[in-house]
A and B are shown apart, each in its own frame.
Chain A
Amino acid sequence: MPSHLGIYASQISGHLASASSYESIATVNVGSGGTTSITFSSIPSTYAHLQIRGYSPSGAYTNMRFNGDTTASNYRYHYTVATGSGSLSSGSAASTAYLPVTGGWGTSSPLAMITDILDYASTTKYKTIRDFEGIDANGSGELYMSSDLWMSTSAISSIVLSRSGATFGQYSSFALYGIKG
């Protein structure tokens, strides 16, 4: 499924998507000293899908939790990764909703990520998350695609991003958008 449903629709029809189809909900900009977590709360249930667009110059692997659910067995992920040469690698685990790229290989080369949370407000289906992210540091870096699953039929009302043993550094920015169906 495309990252931008409205844009794909406009390509097919030849018309731009409605200006009200894609809305900015909230943004977290990290100041000096960094922060240990990024939280989006009180997310309205009125959209079809959510998208998080993130940018982070420093940090470590990012975990994603929904509605305060920290039960590891409620999450799954699979990913494929490009490391600059050879065949692609992949991995999976049943432990977390996981946005896998190490954020920031030095403070100069920032991580960029686009995470789609599809049908987030459904109360009958589990939640599928698609993540596309990468970092290139001129001779090193990684490019990831991952698919995550939250095994809950609850509508997502809050999202917490956190880093394992690290913080989101200054100038990190994470923005939440809603896409209307």
Chain B
Amino acid sequence: MAAGSTYTKISSYTLGSNQTTVTFSSIPSTYTDLVLIAVPFSTQAGTSSNTLRANFNSDVSSNYSYTLMYGDGTSAVSQRGTNATFASFGSISQTSATAPYISIIHLMNYSNTTNYKSILVRDGRGDEYVEAWVNTWRSNSAINRIDLTRDGSNQIKSGSIFTLYGIAAA
């Protein structure tokens, strides 16, 4: 079997100021999967969390959906979102939380042009939730741009970290 080193950093951001949107653009189509590591905070007051949102290729139409499982220490439940205008990349801690959520987001077969896109997410914060998501973006287009935002009018906080990696299959 052929073996080749992979898992290559494509781009990374450590925010030096609050941002409404964090964008990964001109994503090369030469990998098989993308992996995004997110360590975000938001500027919203509070100690809880909100949703880290993502849009692909500037698509803000209702072409997204998800199935979610999460545990809060008392119960383990499932939820579903349909005809959404964004993908859910896990949770983002509010500004006074003592710890960030850490999300590992897998964009599988992101550059194929024959099928919809499936995205697996695992995220959690020890004092709130443990979560797992599967998202679908109903598009046959290769993903070449990812825009990250948070819900509501608040911003992604300075100091948040986002790193995008590419994995190339043999």
Contact = CB atoms under 8 A, between A and B. Distances in A.
Interface of A: 2-4, 6-7, 11, 16-17, 19-27, 40, 42-44, 53, 55, 57, 80, 82-88, 107-112, 114, 132-139, 141-143, 145, 171, 173, 175-178
Interface centre among A21, A111, A143, A178 (most CB of B within 10 A): A143
A31 to B, nearest CB: 12
Interface stretch (B17-25, B64-72, B143-151): B64-72
B4 to A, nearest CB: 5
B138 A4 contact: no
Contacts of A84: 67, 78-80
Interface of B: 1-9, 32-33, 35, 37, 39, 65-69, 75-80, 82-83, 102, 104, 106, 108-109, 112, 114-116, 118-120, 122, 132-136, 138, 165, 167-170
Contact of A136 (B4, B6, B65): B65
Contacts of A109: 116, 118, 136, 138
Contacts of A82: 67-69, 78, 132
B77 A87 contact: yes
Given A55-B108, A88-B78, A173-B109, A143 B133 contact: yes
Contacts of A112: 106, 108-109, 118-120, 134
B168 A132 contact: no
A53 B108 contact: yes
Nearest to A22: B7
A171 B7 contact: no
A134 B133 CA distance: 8
A85 B78 contact: yes
A145 B132 contact: yes
7 contacts: A19-B8, A86-B77, A87-B77, A109-B138, A135-B118, A141-B80, A143-B78
Given A26-B2, A145-B132, A16 B9 contact: yes
Given A86-B77, A107-B115, 11 more contacts: A43-B1, A53-B32, A53-B33, A84-B67, A87-B78, A112-B108, A132-B120, A133-B120, A141-B67, A143-B78, A143-B132
B48 to A, nearest CB: 22
A82 B114 CA distance: 27
B37 A11 contact: yes
Q: Point out which of B3, B7, B76, B132 has the most chain A C-beta atoms below 10 A from its C-beta.
A: B7
A24 B108 contact: no
